[in-house]
């Protein structure tokens, strides 16, 4: 009985102190504190996914790749490299998806600016103009603006709703538009329409230039991928044979495989670095 009373007393003290230990404002602001994995997931189109999902995915992919390598050729060093490559595969896929989404959305933002200009000139309030994009924006962007409209209707706070919209879009060009809208909302003024028109013209010119340069430099990435994959495909075919597995399991074979892995990674990174264009940074992400 004494132990039960002590537990109840401790629970009561903890519940009494909980508003100061875990304030509600801290719980509401917690989603804004994101790490690199959460930012990568948001930029790749999965803003609601928890970072632990990425960790579990990397671990699972590494285990599957290692098991497949062990079934194909019982070479410990190849199994270790397969585990590392498999664990890195989800991150590489998310980065590729992020780049593809940014490229696909790059040509859509000028249309968004034009729609906002038309709504503002028609006399709509700024929150209503942004919420109307849930029906008029390009189809790829409508879910994010629909979520903004629901948040705005539920809370009535433009600042918090636009922050959630910014996290949902996770796009550098969207950050420019959103911060422009935020400044116009908080400071006021009559220059919103000219600023949005200038921003749309700038984004169109940048998109056209980037598209031309990326199309000309696509061979660089193709050559980098081919130069990395081809030697390892040959190595895999040789390792399947018993004499090849015995040779690569020796000390000299391990040195050859590890050296080849280091050279492949360095060469691939250099090729990608040469052909990569500087990406715009996010504003106040």
| pLDDT tens-digit series, residues 11-70 | 665 566 666 555 554 344 434 435 788 888 887 878 778 888 888 889 999 999 888 888
- Residue 181 belongs to some domain of the structure: yes
Summary mean pLDDT of the chain:
80
- Residue 203 belongs to some domain of the structure: no
What was the pLDDT predicted at 83?
A: 92
Evaluate whether 86 touches 61 at the Cβ level (below 8 Å): yes
The verdict on 89 and 145 lying in the same domain is no
The verdict on 135 and 159 lying in the same domain is yes
The verdict on 127 and 185 lying in the same domain is yes
Domain boundary pick from 106, 138, 154: 106
Query: Rounded mean pLDDT of 64-91?
Result: 88
Query: Rounded mean pLDDT of 75-104?
Result: 87
Domain boundary pick from 171, 189, 207: 189
Domain boundary pick from 86, 106, 126: 106
Angstrom distance (rounded) from CA 285 to CA 61: 29
- Residue 65 belongs to some domain of the structure: yes
- Residue 11 belongs to some domain of the structure: no
Q: Specify the range with the lowest mean pLDDT, choosing from 18-32, 223-237, 258-272.
A: 18-32
| 2 has a pLDDT exceeding 70 | no
- Residue 225 belongs to some domain of the structure: no
Tally of domains in the chain: 2
Full-model pTM: 0.64
The verdict on 91 and 71 lying in the same domain is yes
The verdict on 162 and 118 lying in the same domain is yes
Ramachandran bin of 170, using left for φ above 0, alpha for ψ from -120 to 50, beta for the remaining angles: left
- Residue 176 belongs to some domain of the structure: yes
- Residue 202 belongs to some domain of the structure: no
- Residue 247 belongs to some domain of the structure: no
The verdict on 47 and 66 lying in the same domain is yes
Angstrom distance (rounded) from CA 37 to CA 35: 6
The verdict on 100 and 59 lying in the same domain is yes
- Which tokens belong to 240? 């399947």
What was the pLDDT predicted at 10?
A: 58
What was the pLDDT predicted at 84?
A: 92
Q: Specify the range with the lowest mean pLDDT, choosing from 9-18, 117-126, 145-154, 248-257.
A: 9-18
Query: What is the domain extent for residue 97?
Result: 36-106
């Amino acid at each position: 009985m004494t132990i039960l009373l002590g537990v109840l007393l401790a629970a009561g003290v903890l519940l009494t102190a909980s508003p100061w230990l875990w304030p509600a404002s801290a719980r509401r602001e917690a989603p804004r504190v994101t790490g690199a994995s959460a930012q990568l997931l948001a930029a790749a189109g999965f803003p609601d996914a928890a970072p632990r999902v990425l960790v579990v995915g990397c671990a699972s992919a590494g285990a599957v790749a290692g098991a497949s390598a062990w079934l194909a050729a019982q070479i410990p060093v190849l199994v270790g490299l397969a585990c590392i490559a498999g664990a890195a595969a989800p991150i590489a896929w998310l980065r590729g998806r992020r780049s593809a989404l940014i490229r696909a959305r790059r040509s859509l933002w000028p249309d968004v600016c034009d729609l906002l200009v038309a709504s503002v000139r028609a006399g709509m309030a700024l929150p209503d103009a942004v919420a109307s994009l849930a029906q008029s924006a390009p189809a790829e962007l409508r879910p994010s603006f629909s979520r903004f409209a629901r948040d705005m209707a539920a809370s009535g706070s433009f600042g918090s709703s636009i922050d959630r919209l910014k996290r949902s879009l996770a796009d550098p060009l969207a950050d420019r538009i959103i911060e422009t809208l935020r400044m116009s909302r908080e400071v006021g003024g009559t220059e919103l329409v000219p600023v949005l028109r200038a921003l749309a013209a700038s984004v169109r010119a940048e998109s056209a230039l980037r598209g031309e340069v990326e199309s000309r430099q696509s061979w660089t990435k193709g050559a980098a991928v081919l130069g990395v994959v081809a030697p390892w495909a040959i190595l895999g075919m040789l390792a399947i044979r018993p004499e090849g597995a015995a040779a690569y399991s020796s000390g000299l074979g391990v040195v050859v495989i590890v050296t080849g892995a280091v050279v492949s990674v360095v060469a691939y990174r250099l090729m990608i670095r040469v052909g990569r264009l500087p990406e715009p940074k996010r504003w106040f992400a």
